[in-house]
Amino acid sequence: MPLIEDHHYLKICAQLASSLSISIAAARRKVEVAAAKEGKKDLQSRKDIAQKILDQIFEEDKKQCVSASASFDQLLKALKEEENFMLED
C-alpha cells in the first residue's frame, strides 16, 4: 500500500484509530479494505469512506452512550475472583 501524505486523510484516520483504540496503520488498512470492496481507488473516495466509517462509530457511541475506548477499558478490568490470579510462581 503506497503511503498517502494527505493531511486531511491522515487526520480522519487518526480520529478513527483513536475512537477504535487501534493503530493508525490499522485504521488506514480498514479504510483501504472498505475502498477496495467498493472498487474506489482515488483519494477523495477514500476520504469519504473514512469519514463515513467515523460517522458510523460516533452514531453507535451516541446510541450506546459509551465510547469504544471506555468499553475496552471496562473489558480490561479484572473480575473480583480473578484479581489475585498469578501466571508465574
Q: What's the one-letter identity of residue 57? A: I
Query: Each residue of 69-87: b (16+ CB within 10 Å) or e?
Result: eeeeeeeeeeeeeeeeeee
pLDDT tens digit at each of 89 positions of the chain: 556 678 899 999 999 998 888 899 999 999 999 999 999 888 899 999 999 999 998 888 777 766 666 777 777 776 666 666 666 65
